[in-house]
Amino acid sequence: MKTAVIVFPGSNCDRDMAVALRDATGREPAMVWHRDTELPDVDLVAVPGGFSYGDYLRSGAMAARSPIMRDVIDKAAKGVAVLGVCNGFQILTEAGLLPGALMRNANLSFICRDVDLVVENAQTMFSSRYDQGSTVRIPVAHHDGNYFADEATLDRLEGEGRVVFRYAQACNGSRRDIAGIVNDAGNVLGMMPHPERLIEAEQGGTDGKRLFEGLVAALG
């Protein structure tokens, strides 16, 4: 599996993501600067966490319109897998690759702690190494993780099995406690929790690692 990590000004989880991808694939991911216009030939593009463009205007709004994102949108339409974590999830919704929006946490606080997630759909290429319905523990660290979509969109996401991860307990005000969703084709996942921060026992657990192992199993 060949991978790339997009780097925006203000990204701060890009190197953690690169380590997780390198460990899982045995290959060095390409680090792609936001001003580049074309991705290398890859099977997976990771849009990492951080505070791209200082969260100006709205979290992810500026990054979603940066030059490289046009090619990310093109490649996603052609079936290339895209993983957006935290700010990456915000960027993917702003770019229109995923429905809904991520708003300020309902309690207005930055939330930085481990949370329990229920794996609602273990059939996706991102979640196949988790057991359906199991609970995993993965850290969150965000100010704008409050997932919003209208009721019709939420019903559609639920009905189509596109809610992949759900907070086991209310976390940030997200509608229906949604923590991660996929697009209708199933090749784009956005999630607020950080799997790349939990890939070695020294980090307190390896629940995040299985996401990357699942991707390797699916994409080679």
Partner 1 sequence: MKAKVYVTLKNGVLDPQGKAIHHALEALGFSGVNDVRQGKFIELDLADGTADADIDEMCRKLLANTVIENYRVEKA
Binding site for partner 1 (CB under 8 A): 57-58, 61, 65, 93-94, 99-101, 103-108, 146, 148-149, 173
Tokens of 202: 């020294």
For residue 59, the minimal CB distance to partner 1 (Å) is 10
Rounded CA separation 38/91 (Å): 18
User: 167 near 161, Cβ under 8 Å?
Assistant: no
For residue 131, the minimal CB distance to partner 1 (Å) is 33
Distance set, CA 207 to CA 81, 97, 119, 128, 218 (Å): 21, 26, 11, 13, 18
As beta bridge partners, residue 190 has: 84, 181
> 171 catalytic, yes or no?
no
Residue 215 Cα to chain centre, angstroms: 13
**Catalytic entry in 86, 120, 142, 171:** 86
For residue 36, the minimal CB distance to partner 1 (Å) is 21
Helix extents (H) in 26-168: 61-64, 67-77, 87-94, 151-159
> 112 catalytic, yes or no?
no
> 86 catalytic, yes or no?
yes
- Whichever of 105 and 124 has its CB closer to partner 1, that residue is 105
- Whichever of 24 and 63 has its CB closer to partner 1, that residue is 63
- Whichever of 57 and 170 has its CB closer to partner 1, that residue is 57
For residue 97, the minimal CB distance to partner 1 (Å) is 13
Helix extents (H) in the chain: 14-25, 61-64, 67-77, 87-94, 151-159, 209-219
- Whichever of 28 and 184 has its CB closer to partner 1, that residue is 184
User: DSSP letters along 83-100, please?
Assistant: EEETHHHHHHHHTTSSSS
For residue 74, the minimal CB distance to partner 1 (Å) is 17
Residue 49 Cα to chain centre, angstroms: 8
- Whichever of 180 and 195 has its CB closer to partner 1, that residue is 180
Report, as residue numbers or ranges, the catalytic residues.
86, 194, 196
